[in-house]
Amino acid sequence: METETTQVAGVCVDAGGYALGMPQLCADWMPNQIFWLVITLIAIFFVLSRIALPRIGAVLAERSGTITNDIAAAEDFKNKAAAAEAAYEQALADARTEAQAIIAKAKAEIQAELDVELAKADAAIAAKTAESEAAIAEIRDNSVKNITAVAKDTAKELVLAMGGSADAKTITAAVNARMKG
């Protein structure tokens, strides 16, 4: 039985079916390995080059394309956001400027009104003052006149009471001289 196997297996195995020397170096077996290796390599090559590698290459290219597109889109959105922010800032600045202008205008208006009112009030005050001054002057004039009259009368009476006599003209001149002094 074993002998039969040995007979058909060739010179590289012994009667027990064990290897004689290194099976790697058995020349009888080499053509078989080389033949099937070449067949296998050709098959692998065709599987890879016809089906697998183009498919994987396409998937990788598609993915990198998608990623590039997505990054570009993200960049776009970022720019848009920046633009929106700039517009917002601009609007805010405009609003501030406008507010400042409105405040300045309001202030100016108020100031103008105030000035008018002040002028009016000043005029009224001035008028009142002038009136009062006139009244005071009149009162003073009156009182001076009265005092003069009273002084003349008193002086005349005094002169009469002292037993002198004096005409009105002299007394008036004397009183006036005194009043000036």
CA gap 35, 43 in Å, rounded = 12
Among the residue ranges 53-61, 116-124, 129-137, 165-173, the one whose residues contact other proteins (CB under 8 A): 53-61
3 binds other proteins (CB under 8 A): no
Which positions ≥6 away from 21 have C-beta within 8 Å? 12
Applying CB under 8 A, which part among 48-56, 83-91, 161-169, 173-181 lies near other proteins? 48-56
Question: Alpha-carbon distance 145 to 139, whole Å?
Answer: 10
Contact flag: residue 52 with other proteins (CB under 8 A): yes
Question: Exactly one of 2, 15, 28, 109 binds other proteins (CB under 8 A); which one?
Answer: 28
Secondary structure (3-state) at 164? coil
Number of other residues whose CB lies within 10 A of the CB of residue 13: 18
Residue type, 165: S
Report how far residue 20's alpha carbon sits from residue 89's, in angstroms, rounded to the nearest whole number: 91
Binding-site size for other proteins (CB under 8 A) equals: 49
Q: Between residues 36 and 88, which has the closer beta carbon with respect to other proteins?
A: 36
Q: Which positions ≥6 away from 19 have C-beta within 8 Å?
A: 12, 13
Which of residues 2, 15, 45, 74 is near other proteins by CB under 8 A? 45
Sign of CA dihedral 104, 106, 110, 113: positive
Residue 11 in contact with other proteins, rule: CB under 8 A: no
Please choose, out of 13-21, 135-143, 149-157, 167-175, the segment that lies near other proteins by the rule CB under 8 A. 13-21
CA-based R_g, the chain, Å: 68
68 sits near other proteins (criterion: CB under 8 A): no
DSSP secondary structure code for residue 18 in this structure: -
Q: Shortest approach of other proteins to residue 89 CB, angstroms?
A: 39
Residue 8 or 161: which CB sits closer to other proteins? 8
Does 32 bind other proteins (CB under 8 A)? Our answer is yes
* Interface residue list for other proteins (CB under 8 A): 4-5, 8-10, 12-13, 16-19, 21-26, 28-41, 43-45, 47-49, 51-53, 55-60, 62-63, 66
